[in-house]
Amino acid sequence: MSKIKYRTFRCFVFGVFALLMSSCGTTEEAYVERPVEELYNIAMNDLANGSYAEATKGFDEVERQHPYSVWATRAQIMSAYAYYNNMDYDEATIAVDRFIKLHPGHQDVAYAYYLKAISYYEQISDIRRDQKITLMALQSLEEVVRRFPDTQYARDSLLKIDLANDHLAGKEMDIGRYYLVRNNYIAAINRFRRVIERFQTTTHVPEALHRLTESYLALGVIQEARTAAAVLGYNFPGSPWYADSYALLQEKQLQPNTDENSWISQAFDGIF
């Protein structure tokens, strides 16, 4: 073989080898178009089997291959649901927001709003941590109730609203107790007052009234302390917190007594 022919052959061999190596290094899957029903059913099977990551890919593929079909619209909300089940809450809320923006009048839009709300709700953390997510959950749940009052989603949202409010009240109580044990009574009173004024139907109200009694007594604001104890005894007569407040007053030879001009009395006039 001549030198020229040999060089040409060697270049050809190297070229083919390089082409083969570059194709081996490609990780992209070949595009295969499939019927929309087949793609959607595969994704639904993955969802039913708990393969949520695969399900989201499948629903996204439905929209990618058949973007103008009815199935694509269904796939959008089902993708959000799969993200939620996989606890990818950020992705779930992004997918829901996109669905709401594209299909504000869709028959499943009420569920979309609800799915967004519970995606926030599931992330509510311990009361010792920042409660930004709790506030976002509360706002989203209230939006469901406001927009879709006669739906099952509104009924469930109302229950979750109560729990979210109770959580926020618990956070205020935790901060109030922190100030109280450090004798920072003004700061403590401000926190307990928030519980009374903003979270009046929560389970923390009896303790908040007792802590107000305790804080006001420590400051020497006697009439407010007596009012807090009187309101506590009237509305929660069997509460152990009332027994504690009554004992505190007795130590100073005082009795519970309501001052109608007190903010505490005025706050409870519209409740009980």
How confident is the model over 190-218, as a mean pLDDT?
96
- CB hemisphere CA count around 179 (13 angstroms): 19
Per-residue model confidence as pLDDT tens digits over 164-190: 999 999 999 999 999 999 999 999 999
The DSSP element (H or E) to which 150 belongs, if any, is none
Residue partners of 85: CB distance under 8 A and separation at least 6: 47, 50, 52
pLDDT band at 43 (very low <50, low <70, confident <90, very high): confident
Domain limits of the chain? 183-272
pLDDT digits (tens, 9 = 90+) for 12-38: 334 433 433 444 444 445 556 767 778
Higher-confidence residue of 2 and 124: namely 124
State how far the Cα of 156 lies from the Cα of 160, in Å rounded to an integer. 6
Instruction: Round to whole Å and give the CA distance between 79 and 19.
Output: 38
pTM: 0.77
If you write DSSP's letter for every residue of 51-72 in order, what string do you get? Answer: -HHHHHHHHHHHHHH-TTSHHH
Q: Where are the alpha helices (DSSP H) in 68-151?
A: 70-85, 89-102, 109-121, 132-147
